[in-house]
Structure 1
Amino acid sequence: MKRSSFIAKASRDSLPMLRRAIFIALTLNLCACSTLVTIDVDHELAGINGAARAPSSPLQVRAGVLPLVVSDDFSNYLRQTNGNPDVYRWVEDVSSSDAKLMQQRIIASMEQSRCFESVNELSIPSLDAALNEAWLQGIDVLFVPRIVRNDVYYVDSNSSWTWNVALWGILTPIASWWVADEEFSADVRIELAAYSVGRRNELFRDTLEGNAQRSLDDWDQGWEWLSIFTTPSTLDAPNWKVISPALRPHGELDLYRNVIDYCRKNFVTRAKPDSFRESLSKFEAVVLWSRPEGWLEPRYAESDAASILEMLRGVREPELTGVQLTTNAASDPATREVLHDAIQRAARLQPYDRLFLSFSGVATVSDGALALVLGGDSNSPAPATVSLAELAQWLAPVRAQTLVVVDAGFNGTRGTRSLPAQARTDFGIEAFDDLRVATNACFLFASSGTTGALEMDEIRGGLFTHFFTQHAKRALVSGEGLDMVDMFAAIQNDVVRYAKLEQVAQEPTMICGDGFDTASFFNAKRAIATDPPNDRDEERESGGSEE
């Protein structure tokens, strides 16, 4: 009787202790639960901010991003890794839709960095074609991301494993299924190559990483009865296909956080020197001529356009920039619409870019002001005019350094690219004052308001264009560069001297805005190269208009 009472009493006393033990075990079990939560990358990306401070204002740089490149190296790495019988690492494949989605998220990260004027999406697979399109869109730097790693892998057991074994043996194996005693990590890496759209060369190439380590329980790994003892040796494809979709997005999100910091630190630091701006500079050329339908003069306007194109294409220095051409050489005369559209497109250029505009043709007086004569279009075949004031207004929004070369006469006899003298009014230098509203532009005219512009059979072209191309080519090829003031003085001296031999008065005129840097336009260190960033050579050779 006494023994039975003792046993009953012991049972009653041990029950609270058992309850406390179970409570403690469950508490520890809950504390060791998985740290892996499913995330929406796009939602999380909208709220993240990098560790580095954003610049006070965006850089004067427009960026473009191509879709993520999945190379053969990555495909081989995927096959070798996932085909290994000891699968401690799993590589997630990247489909075309995944690549597109990652491109959009990289763009969103760059936009959140607040380092660029704009970040544009391009969907052109070919780098050459993408550079062409980037030029037309006004993009300065083209980023090409390439996937390097898209992995999840086993790290090791953590400190919870030891007491989890005790819990498994003493209490129940079931409780151990919720203990996060194994460490797994995501490894998402891209290689980001940056290309100068203006120079068509690679600027730099860097690898950016995204990592995220989490503690996983048995359910996160794809449940197995004895996984506490068999992980990681029993991990196979079905397990990884459970782990990867939940863990890899954490690594991808960390990658985008690092993209933000990369833009704010690495890119901003690289963009500070003036040399970097020069490495982005574009040279855009608009080479036009005009002779209204039915007119016999000017005879050599097309030849002038061809000479200037030859100059632009004839400099073969590897360090020089590309030149984007718009021309009507060997085609129909330029119209007012062609000129206006070409200048409007140039408004996308940056302050460190350059625009070269040349016109060979006839000048006149329209509504009491000096004007250029252009061909008519299909709607109105009659000749059209553009006053110098109107030309300056078109050029005023252009931020690039702009050089305008006009080989046309404003007053003179036959053969001087001007209308008959009796139909003209003489103009002094004040007639060019309206041009100064284009503050970043410099205008070189073959004549003053009181003289014509001679063209000669001996050179089969305009006298002014002949000497301009000679001096410009010399400045570019010599590698020494030439200040625009000095260059114009040399051109003016040659033109005046040779025109006198022909008994023609010709006085070239130069008008420069306050924002034009006369020392840098024909500096060979940042000068013109020849091959425009497009692949329409056949069209160019046939004389079609190209951009």
Structure 2
Amino acid sequence: MEIIVRMTIIVFLAALVVMVSGCSVNKPFVALEEEPYIQNLENAHPSNYVAAIAPIDIGFDAAKINKEASGRFALIPVMDRLTELVRNSVRNAKVFEKLIDESPKTLDEAWKLGADIFISAKLSEYQVYYIGTNKLFVPNIINWFFFEVPSYFVRDEVYGLSGKIEFSFKSTHSGKELLSSTANFTVERSLDDFERGWQILGILRVPGSLSESNWFKVADSLKQYEEKEMQLSIIKIMNEDVRSAVKSDAFKQNMAKRCGLVVGLSRYKAEALTRLKFADDDAIAFRNALISATKEPTAERNIRILTNDSATKDALFKELGALVKRLQPEDEMFFYFAGYGARRLRTMKAETKIEEKNEGENEGKEPSEPPEKGEDSKEQTFAEPALLLFDSDPDNPETFVPLLDIINLLKESPAKVVIIVDAGFGTEKPLRSAGFDVKDALSFKELFISLVDEKQFVILSASDCFLGEGAAEFEHQKHGVATFYLLEGMAGKADIDKNGSVTLKEAFLFLYPRVVEESQMEACAQHPFILGKGIENIILK
């Protein structure tokens, strides 16, 4: 009897040891914020990009996988929870200046929300699976044989949960693919009978006896650890792949976009301004050529157009202000104008420079007038080129838009700016000139050139806007003369070196002699000019 008692005590103690060992077989849980990798990100500096994440897609057929697979079970997670985890991970990686709260479905929606980068994520794998038994399995069989109930609490079965999220990053401005990266996460834990879902003789029958409810129970038991590993994996690819990518020249070039504002007016509110024949068509044709040459999926959205009654003074500055706000140093900005031009008087000191302005101060607003005359300042009156919008009054030069004011607004952007003007600045109205009289005024040309940063700005005028030339229209070609030859050049006729592309320099060399010749045939002197540096590097087509 004494021997039986001793043996019972020994077996009981052995069972107790197995049960205690089974309870402590797994490593203790460490919270995400306590991971050394996460703590090292505390001083990370974000880029200046704003990002938005699309709703997460599911990239697998769970029902098909579960029908064919054995020992594993594909899961469809709770999408709201998955979205929350992914968003928090991207935000905690501190790669972007801001992550927008909304979840846009398309590139355009992300752009409208103010995002620079559109992130799409696809869950391409998410499954729980049976790995096998651990070293406690055989002792626990003995435990089960003598003391069934304690064996239920021994973690002698090993299960895993793995997932894969594929990320794609696109520029909302250019529509170009920036990079792609995949977050792989796996968690493996030993579970007891209750953690994998209790069943009679389960210790002897798994994994073949595991039902759908058992798999869900396993997934629920691993959830805390899986969510942490998922977030850690996403944060790592964001920090290691994306953070290094945003610093590269290739990334910046793919972020770059060609954008612009194209304005064309054949009709004006003022009856004194005779209807022009082809100015609005010029604008439409130039925009189409620019979009076609750009070959970016976002070009149509990035290149805005105002024609006739929509081309008011307020609309012009609103559109320009919105464009300036989104420009990056790698971008190209085009401003094209076809319509009436004029020269107006501007009184200013000859040594005046374009006034520096605080960032964002004048976005979307009309630039201020020149400084008032000081007692000791030596001021002169110049004839400066200006453009007439739909609501401009030809008898009131204050309603004109000086070209210098447009430059003053666009200088707030870091991008290269190309300004193309097909307008007249003389006194003969049929030649796209409003005919405002500026006699006795000094030429604005030298001062204008001194005020313009030729590294940032390129200005192509269809006529000499400082000498007061007009801009002729082609009756038989249905275009302004200069715009017609510009379009012809962009179509390939200006490809002097036959390399398949047309630079702004090539286009100007093509159009200049032809415009001069045609304008002479139209009995008006017209000499296009171009101002600025790097015109050989600006690719029109």
Give per-residue Cα distances to partners, 1:388-435, cap 9 Å, x unaligned. 332123212323332121222333433232232535545331352586
Q: Normalising by structure 1, report the TM-score.
A: 0.76
Task: Select the residue among 468, 476, 487 that pairs with 1:451.
Answer: 468
**Does 2:218 align with 1:243?**
yes
Aligned to 2:263: 288
Q: Is the 8 A contact 1:152 1:247 kept in 2?
A: no
**Does 2:71 align with 1:88?**
yes
- Distance in 1 of aligned mates of 2:211 and 2:410: 66
Aligned to 1:353: 331
The 1:454/1:271 distance shift into structure 2, 3 A limit, reads same
- Distance in 2 of aligned mates of 1:47 and 1:337: 54
Aligned to 1:537: none
Task: Map 1:301-450 onto structure 2 (within 5 A).
Answer: 301-315=279-293, 322-324=299-301, 325-329=303-307, 332-346=309-323, 347-364=325-342, 365=344, 368=347, 369-376=384-391, 384-420=399-435, 422-423=437-438, 425-433=441-449, 436=452, 440-446=456-462, 447-450=464-467
Task: Map 1:510-529 onto structure 2 (within 5 A).
Answer: 510-512=530-532, 517-522=534-539, 524=541
The 1:166/1:200 distance shift into structure 2, 3 A limit, reads same
Give per-residue Cα distances to partners, 1:260-283, cap 9 Å, x unaligned. 222333345555654444334322
**Does 2:125 align with 1:157?**
no
**Does 2:518 align with 1:498?**
yes
**Does 2:54 align with 1:66?**
yes
Q: CA deviation at 1:37?
A: 10
Q: CA deviation at 1:206?
A: 4.8
Q: Is the 8 A contact 1:33 1:179 kept in 2?
A: yes
Aligned to 1:469: 487
The 1:145/1:436 distance shift into structure 2, 3 A limit, reads same
Write the letter of the residue equivalent to 2:198. W
Aligned to 1:132: 108
Q: CA deviation at 1:357?
A: 1.5
- Distance in 2 of aligned mates of 1:436 and 1:69: 50
Give per-residue Cα distances to partners, 1:453-489, cap 9 Å, x unaligned. 3122434332322232233332898654345445435
Q: CA deviation at 1:68?
A: 0.9
- Distance in 2 of aligned mates of 1:328 and 1:200: 23
Aligned to 2:205: 230
The 1:185/1:432 distance shift into structure 2, 3 A limit, reads same
- Distance in 1 of aligned mates of 2:200 and 2:158: 19
Task: Select the residue among 87, 90, 98 that pairs with 1:110.
Answer: 90
**Does 2:120 align with 1:144?**
yes
- Distance in 2 of aligned mates of 1:366 and 1:49: 64
Give per-residue Cα distances to partners, 1:211-241, cap 9 Å, x unaligned. 1111111221122353322332322122222
Q: CA deviation at 1:80?
A: 3.1
The 1:39/1:430 distance shift into structure 2, 3 A limit, reads farther
- Distance in 2 of aligned mates of 1:467 and 1:54: 58
The 1:448/1:423 distance shift into structure 2, 3 A limit, reads closer
Q: Is the 8 A contact 1:475 1:523 kept in 2?
A: no
Write the letter of the residue equivalent to 2:469. G
Task: Select the residue among 172, 189, 193 that pairs with 1:218.
Answer: 193
Aligned to 1:533: none
Compare relative contact order (CA 8 Å, sep 6+) and give the higher one, 1 or 2. Answer: 1
Q: Is the 8 A contact 2:262 2:304 kept in 1?
A: yes
- Distance in 1 of aligned mates of 2:21 and 2:37: 30
Moved more, 48-57 or 368-377: 48-57
Write the letter of the residue equivalent to 1:80. K
Q: CA deviation at 1:338?
A: 1.9
Q: CA deviation at 1:153?
A: 1.3
The 1:109/1:292 distance shift into structure 2, 3 A limit, reads same
Q: Is the 8 A contact 1:34 1:215 kept in 2?
A: no
Task: Select the residue among 226, 232, 237 that pairs with 1:262.
Answer: 237
Identity of aligned residues (%): 22
Moved more, 485-494 or 217-226: 485-494
Q: CA deviation at 1:188?
A: 1.6
Write the letter of the residue equivalent to 2:214. N
Say what the alpha-carbon RMSD is for the aligned residues: 4.0
The 1:100/1:504 distance shift into structure 2, 3 A limit, reads farther
Write the letter of the residue equivalent to 2:280. E
Residue 150 of structure 1 aligns to a residue whose secondary structure is strand
Q: Is the 8 A contact 1:168 1:176 kept in 2?
A: yes
Residue 183 of structure 1 aligns to a residue whose secondary structure is strand
Task: Map 1:179-218 onto structure 2 (within 5 A).
Answer: 179-198=154-173, 200=175, 205-218=180-193
Q: Is the 8 A contact 2:104 2:110 kept in 1?
A: no
Q: Normalising by structure 2, report the TM-score.
A: 0.77
Q: CA deviation at 1:360?
A: 1.2
The 1:282/1:476 distance shift into structure 2, 3 A limit, reads farther
Residue 185 of structure 1 aligns to a residue whose secondary structure is strand
Q: Is the 8 A contact 2:182 2:237 kept in 1?
A: no
The 1:470/1:296 distance shift into structure 2, 3 A limit, reads same
Q: Is the 8 A contact 1:194 1:202 kept in 2?
A: yes
Q: Is the 8 A contact 2:166 2:181 kept in 1?
A: yes
Residue 132 of structure 1 aligns to a residue whose secondary structure is helix
Write the letter of the residue equivalent to 2:525. A
Q: Is the 8 A contact 1:287 1:358 kept in 2?
A: yes
Residue 415 of structure 1 aligns to a residue whose secondary structure is helix
Q: Is the 8 A contact 2:335 2:419 kept in 1?
A: yes
Task: Select the residue among 504, 508, 522 that pairs with 1:488.
Answer: 508
